[in-house]
Structure 1
């Protein structure tokens, strides 16, 4: 599918006057309707807005690419729009968007929208190109600028028979960085007179796939990826594995190292040597890979457990309550092996997944809990990694049995035996955590957890505090989870109330005040990050203090919940919910006053 066939002069809007995201979307949908691309503009606009709820399509670098598949679309089509003033579009880089492309694809269009997305991202990687498009004088100039390098791009990844290097690029979204890294590698390789072929694992699937012959010819393989790619094909080759940004920012150094084979030979183990994310940071990533998978599971279990007392008072049949309790208990027990399995998967792939999963199922049958489950995940992952390396020395005919037979069976046997031997020595930390603590100790714990939630919103400290709250759910210490959730709600709510009652923030910032309110009530803290960065200590420290107070008050009043999310919408399922609301209001007022005071002191200084 070629974008040249999709974008015509009559589907381009220059000099849009849209004031916000919704107006911009409405204007582009209207243009689709006027051009006959869609039959029902209301249905299509709803589909676009539903897609935006999942995540913003503002990809950064002044660009947004809203898209949707709908039964009302007649055929694949495209509308382009320029808004020179820029619009707050919740873009990934938090900057205004001036250049828009809206993709419309029929409901049965498969992955056509992803193909169009990938082409657009490749064409719009250069900042100068984007600026020229924004400043186009007419539609003809816009189309000419957009397509002038398209034919060149199509052939840029064609290589000669003698391949020096091969590479794979991939990023989590598969849109921008995947193709930026490809472009950087190809252009720099051309400058250095190096022949290279680059495979992209992008939004439209795998392109320029490396063949067995390509890999065999290459002196070295570069894997510039922030997500999993197929690695088994690189067995016994020199491989450099780096984050995708390294291929963009340090291209020449990367190519030189690859050409000189300054790399390790791949034997089925991780080679992420170039990453700055080592040591404790890497451990944190593995832990989060496990914890993040069980949040929806704990939501179901916790809500079921919280509903049972209400249903008992309503004289619901005891048989149904027993079934609900059984499902809730089984669900929370399942969550432990799932956590272990995904920690193992993060460390050693599917072999680590299997060893950790089976071993942790055995663990819960000998009364192990979440902390032991986390340890099993790490031990299982690294055990599988070690066994894979050990079995790489077997004859090639036997190596094919390693991933599906030797590692799972031997790894599970070793780890299960270790669990069996250590089970009598497991610490009863459930009883330890649930003993009656002095009020001052409870307040201090709540204050520390609250402070951790706001120090680096969405960062490692925040996630560790959140993980402690989740561990509290498994151990019956439900007050820690309520303290964590209340503290995490504080920053966006404080910023909202400050916008509403003072002149601390400018008019541009205030456009998102209702977004701050909604996200805060939903326990989504990240919306506050841009304000903390922009206003620094004047906003950050008041939010940290208020979150610390919120955590302390929540634990002091013994607020508790058996589920890890939900915000204000689950208030009726929180123990001592009146005190939860009271703690929220008190902390909110304190945080807002602190921001106002700190800004006044700053002005006087």
Structure 2
């Protein structure tokens, strides 16, 4: 696809006579409508004005590029006009606009046209080319200039890509450009920064966050080695990766019109240091990075996105038990009163997203956006099929590498299929293969493991109740809501029907200990945890008292070798003590809020505190102090 595939002669007017911005927009919309790619030109015009409300598309230097992405656009298109006398378009430099390009983009479809529009935006940064277009004698000459310049621009892009691929040099500056629609300004700002840096003899790498996704993203090594970073963006971009680096944040229009000023400020050493207060998403790494570190980063991307669902949903469920009345219907505890039912439903809904979010964002970290849907489906199937937390982990990694495999496979298809890959081929084949894998390869063995563990527990019931309490308590902490945890919980709830209330007591106390042990450790041994982890103390106390073991998942996922053994031992001790002290429980859930129905409540509290303290002590012994902990 070329620019002239989008820009037709019927949508070009090089002798337009308009006097105001509104007239200019009206005329351009009519030119666009001449292509027959608008179902409703008035709806499209509303989209143009909505974009203008965000910031003017009169970028200065005599150029305006109004654009909109709308459902009424049936095919991508361009319209162009020249106003010889100029018109006040409320441009950024307050000067008249002479050259106009209007862009129409569909809401759905392939992304090939976006690269064409990006190229046009970059071409317009050439002052000589712009002046030639304004002074073109007729439409044919206007279109010929564009065709000639496009060929030159393609060669320039190929040369730049070859130089970047062949060079292992570090960059003095990095930049990110992004506008709300990601159509024009994103690429114009990138071109302006690259050209000005080249003139100044300064190496720079610019990431563009456009409608086609993030391109040319810097690696972690490049971020570490650069002097400063320029973020010229009118929308949110991933900033956590720049933590501790000098960062200049400005509007995308400043990237276009103040490139030299921004570069000088960046290399002056006066740029402010950026500090992030949230987990960074995965950044593309160099191939020299170890496999373990790479897997860890993918895992943390899933965990960081999952965390709000765990915390928000967990607290809502805790409130449900707090405001409920156990005496109304013990079997329905947590949903007996309207207020409790409201909190319980909201919390359960949030928890329902936990595993799909985990798997989806692990997959996205590995395979970028095409992996997200496949990972979500894998996580949901793990949840429905009984695989739980561990199944979702496997699903996330499987989905990511599955999509990467599909990418390599589909690379052999003709270029005509390029636009179909992200919207049809990747989601269809990815989800299909993911469903088959979860159904036949992952969920069956996990279900078999669950059944086997349940059978083992039933055989142990009459032998040693203290040993059974130790085993059940430890199982509740083994995988934090996964198949082992669920097997122990199902065994505990089933025991209520047979009158074995001591088993349920040991199960629940085993599930309460992990968040409490972590809460105590983050409070008394702060130097073992990051500042963000230290802030979860109160949340984990609430979750622990509410019997929400999943509150410990983010810690267990981030550091399983230290967290899991500590929690398992603490929970096992609590479960064994609960059995030894004759504690019983008739409710299948509720944590400390059902203390009224716990047999020997004082003994139960003693067992709970003992398990949490032992878990805390083990964490303090196993985890090393962090260098940067505060």
TM category (shorter chain) comes to: 0.3 to 0.5
Report the TM-score when normalising by structure 2. Answer: 0.37
